[in-house]
Structure 1
Amino acid sequence: MNITDEDARKMLAKMLGDDSILIVKEKKKKETHKQSTCRICEEEFTYEVKKGKAPTLCQSEECRKTHRRNIRKPKPKVIRTNVCAGNECENVIVQKGKGRTITRCEDCQVILRQKQNAEYRAKTFVPLQRVGACIDCNCQLETMTGRGKMKLRCVECQKKNHAKIARESAKTNYKPVVRKFTCRLCEKEHEQEGRGKLRVQCTDCVSKPTPKTKSAAQELLETLSQEQKDAIDMWKSMLGE
């Protein structure tokens, strides 16, 4: 026979003669969640009830960062002064923090770095020497030291290449020039292309043989010789020869 809790209480109350045992006290329900106000943003939030102190901040990451920044203790500032170790340099170096002590100012550091680089280069530098060949005439070029761009052509081929490039470049901007002239023989008007000396005769008249014309000196010489002959003939007639 199964006996419930109520039957057991009734039997116990009859035995003891106390009816207060029959009164069942209701257990208080525990609260699992509560509300509170955030101390940073002053907004209400709900949190789960646990052992320990109740939270005063909401779940926002910004509020937590702000609270952490507010309660952080400021670190004592470390300020050090030092005189530059460079030659004839009296600059005072002010250094904050606990890092490595700086012994030289910025100007002295640059000078020291240049000196160290020059010494290291003098010890380890090996000049690079290269010999090339002309791509046009295939002759050997002079030895080149360093890592610059190699020459492709010798001096003569370079001049020819420059002239070729200049001609091709000039052709793009060239405009043909056409001029008119009148032939002195056929007296016809012709056209001439180019910027050279203006022609006097056309091509047809140049191919024809031109009559020879006497110069002024030749005409004077013939006139004098003719006058001399006339004078001789006159004297011969006067002398009766």
Structure 2
Amino acid sequence: MTVRSNGVQKVKVSDSIVEHITSMIRRGELKPGDKLPAERELSISLGVSRTALREAVRTLSLMDLLTVRQGGGTFVAELMPGSFMKPLTPMLAMGRVDTMELIEARRIIEPKAAHLCAQRATEEDIGKMNAIIDKMEQSLGNLRLFNDYDLEFHLAIAEGSKNSVIVATLDTIRDALYEQVQEIQSLPGAAQRALDFHGLITAAIRSRDAALAEKHMLKHIKDVEKAAKRYLMNR
């Protein structure tokens, strides 16, 4: 498999390599299972240093676009629906996500996810949401467990939307979401408010009222935003 050097820029070399190889995968020039040339050969082909190439390969591995097999080489990974959203992953891993930006993104995505969920969720999906709410109620005294169920609830809404892009997006940011939930739920009354909102959202979904489900989810995220601002001010 030949990896051409066309398009690799000399500014921020490792980022340029990441973009170049990602583009080749998008265009089908590199396919799942293809083995990349050896490091020395590939660095010469791209006209970059081996250090920059190694950094790019690490990033592409974090993005789940490449798989490195010890002693076996580097291969293009099998692609999943959210594969090309994985540029977020290195940023999340390095803690470079701003809390308010994350909430802003949630305010855009999650109300629409709830809207779609009310229209598309199966009875099994709704039963899962109800079961999670029951577990949240039972774990109000155990914040760590409560937070696990809180995140699980939001992912269940995404799954109920039957939109693979929404599911992949929330799955990609789930670690950052968990950290955010941990911070905010530690505030007095925050966990109970989250539980109350989840109940309202699920009731709207169960009654197939998409507009109401969207409205309650938006109010929920706005409440999270207010709590986050309080948390950040007092930190």
Q: Same fold (TM over 0.5)?
A: no
Name the TM tier (shorter chain). under 0.3
Higher strand content, 1 or 2: 1
Larger Rg: 1
- Given the two structures, how large is their TM-score scaled by the length of structure 1? 0.15
- Given the two structures, how large is their TM-score scaled by the length of structure 2? 0.15
Higher helix content, 1 or 2: 2
